[in-house]
Amino acid sequence: MLVGKVIDSIVSTRKHERLVGNKFLIVEPLPCMGENRDRLVAIDNVGAGIGEIVLVAVGSAARAGCGHPDAPIDAAIVGIVDNGDRL
């Protein structure tokens, strides 16, 4: 799991059938996650918005965490950080 900031959204008119109806956001990992982290596209199931600090599950945990165990998902926003003063 990583902590990042939502910097933008992505619109995809054509996508895998199991992804239809889902929102996708671009997340930039915070510096505390290490300097070798690239931005990623994550499915949003918690209603996050641009500028918010979020928790992102990756890999198989992302699929399980958003209730789509057999969908092609690599990253999922699973929480919104309320107080990230120490980050």
Contacts 24+ apart (CB under 8 A), 15-23: 16/71, 16/72, 18/68, 18/70, 18/71, 18/72, 19/43, 19/71, 19/72, 19/73
Whether residue 74 is contained in a domain is answered as yes
Give residue 32's pLDDT.
79
- Structural domain span for residue 3: 1-9+53-87
Whether residue 24 is contained in a domain is answered as no
Give residue 28's pLDDT.
95
Whether residue 63 is contained in a domain is answered as yes
How many Å apart are CA 46 and CA 28, to the nearest integer? 17
Whether residue 87 is contained in a domain is answered as yes
Q: Look at the chain and report how many structural domains it folds into.
A: 1
Whether residue 73 is contained in a domain is answered as yes
Whether residue 48 is contained in a domain is answered as no
Give residue 78's pLDDT.
93
Whether residue 35 is contained in a domain is answered as no
Task: Flag residues of the chain having pLDDT under 70.
Answer: 35-36, 66, 84-87
Q: Across the chain, which distance is largest between two alpha carbons, in Å?
A: 40
Whether residue 70 is contained in a domain is answered as yes
Give residue 57's pLDDT.
92
